[in-house]
Every structure is written in C-alpha cells, then in structure tokens.
C-alpha cells in the first residue's frame, strides 16, 4: 500500500538565488525532467523574488512551483508580507509552512502555523507542513511528543478531506543544514509515529494517503537510505536542491528505489 503514494521531492532554496540564477537552474533542469515526469511530484520553492522567473522558465515543464512562507490575510497593511492570492497569481501550487527556521528565527508559533495552513488551503494551494524536534528534545527522549504536538496543532480544525492532501515534512532541527542526517530507520520510525497520529486526527484512510517527507541534510549520496523506507514518501531538500543535476539525480534515485 505504501507504494500507492506518489513520491514528492521539494527543493527549498531558502535565501539563495537571484532571478537570473534561478533561470539558469531551470535551464539546467528542463532537459532531464522528462525522466521523472509522472513518477514523482517535483516542487521548487524559490525565494519570493525569484518565483515569477522560475514560473516563466518552467513553462509547461512538469515541475510545480512553491513558496517558502505566506501570511494568512488576503491583503492589508502588513508591511513586508505576501498573501495567498499573490502566490496563486504567480502560479504557486505549494507553500511550505512552519519551517523550523521560521519557527526559530522569526517567531512562528503553532498558532500562526495553523492559521497559515488554513489560509493556504482556503486558496486552493497545497501545504508542506514542517515539524521537527530540537537536539535537546531528542536527547531528552521527547522527539515523539514534540513532533506530534506540532502535527496536532498544525492540523487543528482542518477537515479530513483537506488533511489527506497535505504534505507533512519531518525535519529534525539538528539535521538541517548541518550535514548530520537522521538514519533512514530513525526517520522512518518517527514518520510512522506521525502516521499513527494522523489515524487519530483524520482516520485510517487519510493516514494511508497522506504523504510524509523526510528533510535534513538529504543529498545524492544518502537519499537512497530514505527512499527505501516504507513510510517515507519523499524529501524536503535544502542545500542539495540548489544544483539541477543534484536535484534530478535525487529524484531519479528515489524513483529507482521505489519501483
Ligand atoms: P538541508 O535543509 O537539506 O540544507 O539540510 C532542509 C530544509 O531545511 O528544508
């Protein structure tokens, strides 16, 4: 049954690439996309300032456009913020919500994360909802309680139907950008726990459908370890998504392992 879930690999570019650099990335990616089309969902999440350029350069290529954050209001006096309709206007189909860098560096809380999840869904886009424990929580044996609390808070008030379409990304904070990844087995164990929590939140059929990614120092050299795990449905990739060859190679590895 696990194989019924289509893999989803998303590149989170964070604060990297001007629009010219972003266009060059797409030029490098385009000729290879055919090799994974229909077998995996690929998503690229550039910084806001490069979303339009990436969208233009992708044209009809089967790679979806995403954003790294959003504000929940439609419009108004919110200096510096970007609304869901603005992202829809640029062709975004996904929005990353609750990334640990937003939570840790920019004051994102479970409550604001939940408001953003609802706003993204209300505007017909897909959510990539990030959860993950700190090193301190892991050492204290509190990984599961920390992660599941974030899942429950993030999904509060979301219908079962909508929950089924959400992508969850389990990203242990100590593994992000550090070169230190969780083992495939470890990540699968936590992700299996998340899936069990989704059974309670939204029922068994939603838990079977919902896709849960691993993220944190995923790269071409270690992605197979995650791809072979039964509960992991893809990856949210930071640093290693910045080069087209590396991104496409990871998608090909994932497909190869799961077919
Ligand atoms: P990383 O980032 O792959 O560079 O560790 C992952 C993420 O933060 O989404």
3-state secondary structure 146-171: HHHHHHHHHCCCCCHHHHHHCEEEEC
For residue 216, report the distance from its CA to the centre of ligand 1, in Å: 5
pLDDT of residue 1: 43
Give the nearest ligand 1 atom to 239 CA. 4
Q: Which residues pair with 128 in a beta bridge?
A: 96, 167
67 Cα–ligand 1 center, Å: 15
Output the pTM of the full model.
0.96
Q: Is the CB of 238 under 6 A from ligand 1?
A: yes
pLDDT tens string 33-82: 888 888 999 999 999 999 999 999 998 778 999 999 999 999 999 999 99
Compare 235 and 182 and report the one with higher pLDDT. 235
Beta bridge partners of 44: 11, 65
Q: Is 237 in the pocket of ligand 1 (CB under 6 A)?
A: yes
Gap between the Cα atoms of 115 and 128, Å rounded: 14
Q: What pLDDT digit, counting tens, does each position of 73-115 carry?
A: 999 999 999 999 999 999 999 999 999 999 999 999 999 999 9
Q: Which helix (H) or strand (E) holds 230?
A: none
């Amino acid at each position: 049954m696990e194989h019924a879930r289509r893999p989803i690999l998303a590149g989170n570019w964070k604060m990297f690439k001007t629009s010219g650099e972003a266009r060059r990335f797409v030029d490098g990616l385009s000729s290879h996309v055919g090799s994974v089309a229909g077998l995996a969902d690929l998503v690229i999440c550039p910084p806001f300032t490069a979303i339009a350029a990436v969208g233009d350069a992708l044209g009809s290529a089967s790679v979806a456009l995403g954003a790294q954050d959003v504000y929940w209001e439609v419009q108004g006096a919110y200096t510096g913020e970007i609304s869901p309709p603005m992202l829809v206007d640029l062709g975004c189909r996904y929005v990353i919500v609750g990334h640990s860098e937003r939570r840790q560096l920019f004051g994102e809380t479970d409550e604001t994360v939940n408001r953003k999840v609802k706003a993204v869904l209300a505007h017909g886009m897909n959510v990539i909802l990030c959860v993950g424990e700190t090193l301190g929580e892991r050492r204290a044996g509190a990984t599961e309680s920390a992660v599941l609390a974030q899942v429950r808070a993030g999904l509060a008030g979301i219908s079962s139907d909508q929950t089924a379409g959400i992508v969850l990304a389990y990203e242990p904070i100590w593994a992000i950008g550090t070169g230190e990844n969780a083992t495939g087995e470890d990540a699968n164990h936590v992700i299996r726990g998340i899936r069990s929590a989704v059974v309670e939140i939204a029922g068994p059929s939603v838990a079977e459908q919902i896709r849960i990614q691993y993220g944190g120092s995923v790269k071409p050299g270690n992605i197979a370890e995650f791809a072979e795990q039964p509960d992991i449905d893809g990856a949210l990739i930071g640093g290693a998504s910045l080069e087209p060859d590396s991104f496409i190679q990871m998608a090909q590895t994932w497909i190869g392992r799961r077919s």
